[in-house]
Structure formats: structure tokens, C-alpha cells
Chain A
Amino acid sequence: MAMTATADHARADPHHIGVVIEHPGPAPKRIVTAYGFWIFLLSDIVMFSCFFAAYAVLVGQTAGGPKGAEIFEQRNVAIETVCLLLSSFTCGMASIAADVRNRFWFYLGMSVTCVLGLIFLAIEFREFANLVARGYGPSRSAFLTTFFSLVGCHGLHVSAGILWLLTMMAQVFAKGFRADILRRMMCFALFWHALDIIWVAIFSVVYLLGSAP
């Protein structure tokens, strides 16, 4: 059996190295799309690393303004972190529901994800508004500039993610679980999970390390 199989595939193994490489043709579109989106996410993470580098360099340049330990409130950050973590979980539940084509659990998972994302954004917005009101806006010092750009850039990503989330719900509502919709849903789940990874870096490096006296 092995002999005949080898003979059948002789042309696929011209150098007789023993490993026959079959060519199954291009990968399915689902794999190509998700892989391309994974590359985009990695480039997004590289962009965030530039903001992190700028923050690390300028964290001590407070120009007489407040230090991180004076303006960070750990309780708010803990609530934000739990919101984002739970929303990552519910997003995973929604993508499982989409794979098994269960509309009820899909809508429920996505709605909970949306609400948790909005709570996160509300807390962050209140923190920013509070800082600006106290005169600690992004123009106060180099430290605050980099703080607002880094955390604000993540907040912008979350806002864009929520718009995308609502779009996905509308698309499933209007078009059902078609193959192309499921591909978009897969990309959205990747995006949302990647945002959570970046938030882990932000709360550890900015808020927790910055709170140390």
C-alpha cells in the first residue's frame, strides 16, 4: 500500500526526499481573511508600542505638574479592567453563538459586550474630563501629553470597536449568518480580544507602575 502510494505520488516528490508535498490549492477564504486581519492587529500593536515608548521616555517630565501617583484612581481602573475582561468573555460567547447560528445568544452576547464597553468608555471619559477640569489637560506637561495620547488612543479603538459591534449586530439582523458575515464576526472578535491585551499593558505599565510613589 505504501509502495503504491509512493508510486502514485512520484511526480510530487521529484527529489525522493520522502516527504510528498501535495498542493491542496489556495487556503479557504476564512483563513486568508483572518490571517490578514491578524497581521493588521499586529501592526496596530506595533503602533501602540510607539506610544508606550514615548510614554516611558516622558513619564518623568512633569514640568512641575502632577505625577501619575497624584492623578490615578485605582478603583476606577479596576472597574474598567473588569468591564473589559468580562466583555472579552461575552464577545467569545457571541462568536460561539454565531458559529452555531443561534441568534438569541448571539444578540445577548453582543449586547452585553456593548454595554460593558460603554461603561468602560464612560469611566474613561469621566476621568479625562475630571483631569482637564482640574487644569491637568494634555498640554500641561509632556507626561500628560503622552498619557492622554496612549490611553486616549486605546479609548478611540474601543469606540471604533463598539461601532463595529453595532454594525455586526445589524448585519446579522439583516442578512443572517452568511459566510461573509461570519468572517467579519471573526475579525471583530479578534479585534476586541486584541484591545483587551493592549489594556492589560496599559493598566500594568501606566496605572499600576505609575501609582508607585
Chain B
Amino acid sequence: MSDEMHLTAHHDLAPGEEEQHSVGERILGYVVGLALALLLTATSFFIAGTDLVWQPSIPVALIVLAIAQMGVHLVFFLHITTGPDNTNNVLALAFGLLIVFLVVGGTVWIMAHLNANMPPMDQIMRMQ
């Protein structure tokens, strides 16, 4: 019971701030992040130029690799985690992502339909 009380008295972590770690642990975190990011980047560049994999899978693979690398950056460089002291930061991120997907997804969806339903340009010119 009293443990619960004291848990609630803790402050949240600021974005970019880590829990109490020694300097060595913090540097190790950045090294791991850098290694993972370099690995994912190298994979992206390799996949984009290779003909070893099934060609139609390349765009999907590139997007998946990009999202994975953004996740690596968020966790290891910006220190956004799912811990209870990070709730505010994650919620703000989730809202930001919602807007990003609405803007990009909505634009691409609507414009593709407009484009498909539009008569060819020469027909429009003849109508005028």
C-alpha cells in the first residue's frame, strides 16, 4: 500500500532523458543504437540496388526497414520508451503519428481517386 503511494509521487521523465544510468551504460546505449541504425541503413541500400530478391517486394521492404530504423532512433537516441514514466511522451508521439498518417494516407488516397476519375487532359482542353 505504502509502495503504491510513493510510486505516484515520482515525476515523469522528460523526452530525451534516461533513467539513472552510469555514463558507461548511456554510451553503450548510443553504441547499440548506432550499430542497429547502420545495419538497417546498409540493408536498405543493399536491397534497393540488388536483384537477389523478388522485385515487387522491394518497396515494402524499404518502408518496413525505414519504420524499423525510426523506431531504433526513437528508443536509443530520443529515449522514448513504453515505461510508466514516459506515458506523456508516448501519448504525444501517438497523436503526432495519427496526424501524420491522416495527412499522408488521406492525401494519397484522395488524390489517387481524383486522378483515376479525371478525363485525360486533351478531353478537358476540348471541353473549354
- Chain B contributes a number of interface residues (CB within 8 A of A) equal to 52
Chain B: minimal CB distance from A2 (Å): 4
Residue of A nearest to B111 (CB): A57
Interface check A129, CB cutoff 8 A: no
The residue that A209 contacts in the complex, of B2, B27, B31, B59, with Cβ under 8 A, is B59
The residue that A35 contacts in the complex, of B41, B89, B107, with Cβ under 8 A, is B89
- Chain A contributes a number of interface residues (CB within 8 A of B) equal to 61
Bound CA span A82–B9, Å = 42
Contacts of B23 in A (CB 8 A): 96, 100
Residue of B nearest to A200 (CB): B69
Contact across chains for A53 and B104 when beta carbons are under 8 A apart = yes
15 pairs from A and B in contact (CB 8 Å cutoff): A5-B2, A5-B5, A20-B8, A21-B8, A22-B9, A42-B93, A56-B108, A57-B108, A74-B48, A89-B30, A92-B33, A204-B44, A205-B63, A208-B48, A208-B62
Binding site for B on A (CB under 8 A): 1-2, 5-6, 9, 18-22, 24, 27-28, 30-31, 33-35, 37-39, 42-43, 45-46, 49-50, 52-54, 56-57, 74, 78, 81-82, 85-86, 88-89, 92-93, 95-96, 100, 186, 189-190, 193-194, 196-197, 200-201, 203-205, 208-209, 211-212
Binding site for A on B (CB under 8 A): 1-2, 4-5, 8-9, 11-17, 23, 26-27, 30-31, 33-34, 37-38, 41, 44-45, 48-49, 58-59, 62-63, 65-66, 69-70, 73-74, 77-78, 88-89, 92-93, 95-96, 99-100, 103-104, 107-108, 111
Extra contacts, 12 of them, besides A19-B4, A201-B70 (Cβ < 8 A), are A22-B5, A31-B12, A34-B17, A42-B95, A53-B108, A56-B108, A85-B34, A88-B73, A204-B44, A204-B66, A211-B49, A212-B59
